[in-house]
Amino acid sequence: MDTVHACFEEKIGEVLLPGDVFSFRLPESGDGSIKTGPGLRRNGEEVQVYKSGILRHKQPNMYWIDSQQRRVRVLDSHHVIGIVTAKSGDIFKVDVGGSEQASLSYLAFEGATKRNRPNVQVGDLVYGQFTIANKDMEPKLVCIDSCGRANGMGVFGADGLLFKLSLGLMRRLLAPQSEIAKDLEKIFPFELVVGMNGRVWSCENMTSQQRQTLFKRVAEGSL
């Protein structure tokens, strides 16, 4: 078990390229396991790198490759911001930035029944999570968790601005001790919704004077 970790440990923090292999003999006893995150893939007895980036480690046994990309990865149970593009019968078509539009059923909202339909119009922003998300099927969004509660998902944002960022910045914003979030917090009160598909929505109430002073500060570079 230690030999397995040792062969990973010597590369932690180093840049790895696709095709690099970690080969080790798996211990016969079935205790312990290794979790590989994005960027690492199992290939028979070896673990192969398929993305270029830096190897990271989290206790006790999680290894992954930290890399940057802009293309949206549609993955299970990711929370994303979607834009409703069409309403066809009982489902809404939602654009999440992937190659296909996701479908969102009108019953997948908290407190929605056949008689009590949710108030969702074309062009609304929804924050939801994927239940089906793989490359073979049409992605499916829901705005409700497995217990039936909304937990912050659903339609949001009548005012505010939506913009696109790279996925790496997304992850930095959502990191547990995010410095960006702390810095932004000091400036003014605002609300932020971050989707794992690279979309960020923010809303704030500033008077135009406050905005002007803020822009001046940014222009001077004093922020």
What are the residues binding other proteins (CB under 8 A)?
26, 30, 32-38, 40-42, 44-45, 47, 56, 58, 62, 64, 75-79, 127, 151-152, 156, 171, 174-176, 178, 181, 184-185, 188-196, 203-205
Whichever of 56 and 87 has its CB closer to other proteins, that residue is 56
Strand order in the sheet with 40-43: 21-23, 46-49, 40-43
Tell me which residue of 120, 124, 151, 127 sits closest to 78, measured CA to CA.
Answer: 127
Whichever of 47 and 49 has its CB closer to other proteins, that residue is 47
Least distance in Å: CB of 191 to other proteins?
A: 4
Cβ neighbours, 10 Å, residue 63: 21
Whichever of 40 and 112 has its CB closer to other proteins, that residue is 40
For residue 94, what is the DSSP state?
Answer: E
Least distance in Å: CB of 154 to other proteins?
A: 10
Instruction: Please state, in angstroms and rounded to a whole number, the distance separating the CA atoms of residues 190 and 167.
Output: 22
Whichever of 122 and 175 has its CB closer to other proteins, that residue is 175
What is the Cα Rg of the chain in Å? 22
HSE (side-chain half, CA atoms, 13 Å) at 147: 3
Least distance in Å: CB of 138 to other proteins?
A: 18
Least distance in Å: CB of 31 to other proteins?
A: 10
